[in-house]
Amino acid sequence: MIPKPSRGLATVNVEDLRRLEMLLGERVVTLGAVADIVSRNRGLRVHVLEFAHDTNTPDADALSLDQCIVEIGIERLRESIRQNRFWLNTN
């Protein structure tokens, strides 16, 4: 049996978080732009994958990061980022 990782606060680069928040606030958002930011930052990547799993996204464990972002949707991702607290890595 593989233990589940703890679901504590994820460490996120402050610049990546700001970029993602700004991007999600735009009227038009592309999957590629969101996935680029999320995939570069381990904390954001973990957050998206856990969020997809927690929201009962069908087959979340088998989906790629891009597919998880699509299943979550921009509105729910935006709200999730807004509501979550992250450990900010300022280095």
Predicted TM-score of the model (pTM) = 0.77
Q: What is the 3-state secondary structure (H, E, C) of 3-63?
A: CCCCCCCCEEEHHHHHHHHHHHCCCCCCHHHHHHHHHHCHHHHHHHHHHHHHCCCCCHHHC
Task: Report the alpha-carbon distance of residue 15 to residue 20 in Å, rounded.
Answer: 9
pLDDT digits (tens, 9 = 90+) for 9-34: 568 888 998 999 999 999 999 999 99
pLDDT digits (tens, 9 = 90+) for 30-72: 999 999 999 999 989 999 998 888 877 677 678 899 999 999 9
Q: Which residue in this structure is represented by tokens 């703890």? A: 6
Q: H/E element holding 88? A: strand 87-89
Going from N- to C-terminal start, the domains of the chain cover 11-89
